[in-house]
Each structure stands twice: as structure tokens, then as C-alpha cells.
Homo-oligomer: A and B are copies of this chain.
Amino acid sequence: MNVTVLGAGAWGTALAKIASDNGHEVTLWGRDPALLASISQERENKRYLAEVPLPGSWRFEPDLCRSSQGADVLVMAVPSKGFRDVLRNLRGFQGTVVTVTKGIEFESGLTMSGVLESEFPDAIPVALSGPTIAREVATGMPAASVAASVDSKAAILVQELFHRPTFRVYTSSDVLGVELGGALKNVIAIAAGVCDGLGFGDNSKAALLTRGVAEIRRLGVAAGAKAETFTGLSGLGDLTVTCFSPLSRNRTFGEKLGEGGQLTEILAASRSVVEGVPTARSAHHLANRLKVETPIVDEVFLMLHDAKPVKAALQSLLGRDSKHED
């Protein structure tokens, strides 16, 4: 198949590598032509995925519209903030579009497949998500993920595109659940990182993660997703890796906050987008609209968007008053 990957960040690059390792023709587009030229010359993405050798067979296309021409499958791996703009600049695509971007649009409350449907009514969205730290996947360490679509043939197509012995792809029909799990876990991971930064230990983080799964599920179900999706790979699985991996950006961002760093400075110093920051705002808004209790999302929102001191925010989470579990 001809696969065009839009986005030359860590995950876009890793997915392009898997597709080409599986024998597909890969075209890579990225916003920065200099980065594309550098990847092409060095066969390495030094900025986002250093020290991972890449195949020499890729086509690099700095022109967005040209990059998608002739593609059987389009992979959207751009930050959520620019997602709709990229689609608008593309001016249409018919066929399977894999969304791997984890976010919720603030104004619409839509996940990325929703944004896609609103822009390209003829495209078939497939959400690919799961516990997939890009560096581990790109270096061939075993991982598993979920390809979700209401069109089961499209889900199977994406499964076949990426499935490898070290990258197992399962299918699902719950697109919204898979996407909300992926987006919301970044918010919980920021709280988990704050926990680390404050030196609160793994017991606290495990308690927070346990509540996080329940909270994500509650919000997801209210939004129309299936409850069981949130205890699957794209919910619990992704949440776990994001809360514990030293390579997770959202956790690391939270850790720096917990250590006393200043929000704007940490964000300015970060090379990659920290999706949990805008997602905290969108999720807080969505939860208010759906009248769902989301204490962790609320505290992260207050930390990030209302300057609440991080220690006070975490303590109010760890010291909540409910006394009975079942």
C-alpha cells in the first residue's frame, strides 16, 4: 500500500518505520522542510527520534497536498492544535485516514476522528491508540495497540498495515472510547508526574491511576463510549505506560511542575507538544457540559489554567473524603 504519514514527530516517524518495515511505500510530510531534508540525508530523525536508523526508501514531501496524492492510507500524526488546519490545507481525502493524535478540540468537544469527519465526510476514520512509547516501538521492543473504526474493514486494513510480531494491532469498533482514553490519560499522567515531582512515591501514583481509570471511564461513558474500552489497551494500558514511563512527555512535564518549575518555562523548553495541557481544558469543559464529576481533570485544569499551587491540588486529590469503595 501507499501510506502517507503527516507529521514527522516521534510517533509519526515510528509509524512510518513500521509501515515500511512491513513492505509498504511510505511518504512523509512534516511542517518543517529542514527537518524532512535532514531525515532524508541522515536517515535518522535527530530532533524527535535520535539514534534510530531509518530506511532509505521513504519519499519526503514538504508540500502537504502533493504528499497525499496517490495515498491509499493517510496517517494523521500532527499535534491536536494544528489538526483541523492540516485537514483544511489538504483540501479533501477519500479513503482510510488513521488518526493517532490524542486530544479533544475545545470548541467542539470532538476527538480527532470527529474533527476529521466534520472536514472530510468521505474519509473513513480509524483511530490507532495504545501503550506505545514511540522510541520503544521504533527500536523493535514488543508493544500492542488498538485500531478502532465503525467500518470494520477499515480497522482490519489498518491492522494489516501495521501488524508485526513486535507490534500487535487489535481491532475495535469503539472509536470514541479509544480516542477519549488516549486523550484523557495525558491529563491523569500530568497529575501522576506532579506526584513524582513532589516525591510522593509509587503508592500514591498507583492510587491516582486507579481513580484516573474510573474518572476517564465515567466521562467517556457519559460522552457515548463503551465502559469496557477504558480497561483495555487504549485506556488502562496507555494510562499505565504514560504514568510510569520516564519517556512519557506528559508525566515528565508534570514531574517538572511538581519539582517547582514554572509552567511557561517548562513548556517553552519542551521540544514536543504536551497534549495534556490543552486536553485538561477541553476535558474540564466537556465534563462540565456532561455534568460528570472529574476531580483529577479539575485539579489539573486548576493547576495549569488557574495557577493553583500543585501541592495543594495534589493533596486535595489524595485526601478526598469518600470512605467506602464499593
| Residues of A bordering B, CB below 8 Å | 130-133, 136-137, 141-144, 146, 159, 165, 168, 170-174, 199-207, 209-210, 213-214, 226, 228-229, 231-233, 236-238, 240-241, 244-245, 247, 318-319, 322-326
A136 to B318, CA, bound (A): 15
With A141-B200, A201-B141 already in contact, the answer to whether A240 and B210 are too (CB < 8 A) is yes
Taking each of A137, A146, A201, A213, which has the highest tally of chain B beta carbons within 10 Å of its own beta carbon?
A: A201
> CB < 8 Å: which of B146, B203, B324 contacts A172?
B324
Q: A133 near B201 (CB under 8 angstroms)?
A: yes
A135 to chain B, nearest CB (A): 9
Q: How far is the CA of A229 from the CA of B325 in the complex (A)?
A: 8
Interface contact B131-A170, CB-CB below 8 Å: no
Q: What 18 additional pairs, Cβ within 8 angstroms, besides A141-B200, A170-B322, A229-B325?
A: A131-B207, A133-B202, A136-B203, A137-B203, A142-B200, A142-B203, A143-B203, A143-B204, A144-B203, A144-B204, A168-B319, A170-B323, A170-B324, A171-B325, A172-B325, A209-B240, A210-B236, A232-B326
Copies of this chain in the oligomer? 2
Closest to A238 in B: B206
* Alpha-carbon separation in the docked complex, A245 to B202 (Å): 6
Can you list 6 A-B pairs with a CB-CB distance of less than 8 A?
A: A130-B207, A131-B210, A168-B318, A202-B241, A214-B231, A231-B231
A146 (CB) vs chain B CBs: closest residue: B325
User: In whole angstroms, what is the CA distance A231 to B133 when docked?
Assistant: 24
Q: Tell which of B132, B174, B206, B322 touches A326, judged by Cβ atoms closer than 8 Å.
A: B174
* Cβ distance A71 to chain B, nearest Cβ, rounded Å: 25
Task: Give chain B residues whose Cβ lies under 8 Å from the Cβ of A172.
Answer: 324-326
Is B170 a contact partner of A202 (Cβ separation < 8 A)? no
Q: Whole-angstrom distance between the alpha carbons of A137 and B206 in the complex?
A: 13
The residues of B that contact A214 with a CB separation of less than 8 Å are 231
